Structure 1
Amino acid sequence: MRLNIRFVPVEPADLDTVQDIVNSNTAYNLMENGRPERSREELLEQLSPDQHSLLIRLDGRAIGLLQYLDENPKDGYPWLGLLMIHDRLKGKGYGKAAYASYEQRLKQEGKQSVRIGVIPENEPAKRFWGSLGFQYYATKLANIGIEVDCYEKAL
């Protein structure tokens, strides 16, 4: 069964939806910034014009958030900065389906690989990305001031 996943650019009117998705993921928020929730102001900062921020929609309903750079100025690679599914919807294959759609888009654009950063303590994310073929290559300091394990996947 193919899921009807679509990506829609985040608009200012979507901030409540984005906040609901992000704040449903308290374990991730605690790992990322030590607090269970993100404020509207923090989310507005996170929705930088330097990256693409998209709502992940399934049958018209927002189920997650995808953020990426077409090309990271530091290394020239496309980077997937965030793939987050609403916590109550995890384990249903939506994250894998959303990533598959994103990867297909990269392939159509002729990209050869994609990179991601994972918080070292985030074991579920490491398992998820490993199951999709990502391989660890380094630990680096991220723009948000924390160390991340960097992974890459050849497309």
Structure 2
Amino acid sequence: MIQLEAVTEPLSLESLDIQASILNSQPEFNLMVEHKPYLEPLELQAENRKNLVMGEKMLYIKFRDHTAGLLTYLPDYGPDHYPWIGLLVIHRQYSRQGLGKAAVHELERILQQQGLQAVRLAVQLENKAGEAFWTLNGYGRIRSATDNHDNQVDVYEKQFG
């Protein structure tokens, strides 16, 4: 159904345009995270640089030869040594088709194959759709925190096996 494809050049102008297109199709999400509805490709470049230094992996979610979404994760987040999902965004054109769920399940499969036991993520408190999505996919809230954009978030975790 879907394929996860590694983004080989997340700082290239072509890739930044694709990322901005996906993110900007969901302005409500951008407002929650970045506090503005639309992001410029070059704004994403600085964020990508910072995340790449931490070891972030970026994947395109491909559906029928189209780039339908974006998924990022840290295989080993230094402070707690858990893998963390950083971002899951489906282009509005492809939303409500089960692609997010399929992408998360594929990433979980990959992490399990690497011998990992769990994965974590953060959800902004006002992101009720995100909270529902992650809960339905087996993630449970473990604590509250502040993200790198100074947003209040709940941290969720899913244990494998």
Assess same fold via TM > 0.5: yes
Question: How much does 1:109 deviate?
Answer: 0.4
Report the Cα distance in structure 1 between the residues aligned to 2:75 and 2:137, rounded to whole angstroms: 20
Query: 1:105-144 maps to which residues of 2 (within 5 A)?
Result: 105-144=110-149
1:38-63 deviations in whole A, cap 9, x for unaligned? Answer: 12222112223121112111132101
Instruction: Find the counterpart in structure 1 of residue 26 from structure 2.
Output: 25
Question: How much does 1:147 deviate?
Answer: 1.7
Query: 1:5-154 maps to which residues of 2 (within 5 A)?
Result: 5-11=3-9, 12=12, 13-47=14-48, 48-49=51-52, 50=54, 51-154=56-159
TM, length-normalised to structure 2: 0.90
TM, length-normalised to structure 1: 0.94
Report the Cα distance in structure 2 between the residues aligned to 1:128 and 1:110, rounded to whole angstroms: 25
CA contact (8 A) 1:8 1:57 kept: no
Quickly say closer, same or farther: Cα 1:8–1:59, change in 2 above 3 A: farther
Runs of 4+ more than 3 Å apart = none
Question: How much does 1:10 deviate?
Answer: 4.8
Percent of paired sites with the same residue: 34
Structure 2 residue corresponding to 1:4, chosen from 2, 5, 11:
2
1:110-144 deviations in whole A, cap 9, x for unaligned? Answer: 10000000000000000000000000011111122
CA contact (8 A) 2:139 2:157 kept: yes
Runs of 5+ unmatched residues, structure 2: none
- Say which SS state the counterpart of residue 137 (structure 1) adopts: strand
- Say which SS state the counterpart of residue 37 (structure 1) adopts: coil
CA contact (8 A) 2:2 2:99 kept: no
**Corresponding pairs, count:** 153
Q: Please identify, of 33-42 and 63-72, the stretch whose mean Cα deviation from structure 2 is larger.
A: 33-42
Question: How much does 1:16 deviate?
Answer: 1.1
Equivalent position amino acid for 1:27 in 2: E
Report the Cα distance in structure 1 between the residues aligned to 2:58 and 2:3, rounded to whole angstroms: 15
Equivalent position amino acid for 1:56 in 2: I
Q: Please identify, of 7-16 and 83-92, the stretch whose mean Cα deviation from structure 2 is larger.
A: 7-16
Runs of 5+ unmatched residues, structure 1: none
- Say which SS state the counterpart of residue 76 (structure 2) adopts: coil
CA RMSD of aligned residues (A): 1.2
Quickly say closer, same or farther: Cα 1:78–1:40, change in 2 above 3 A: same
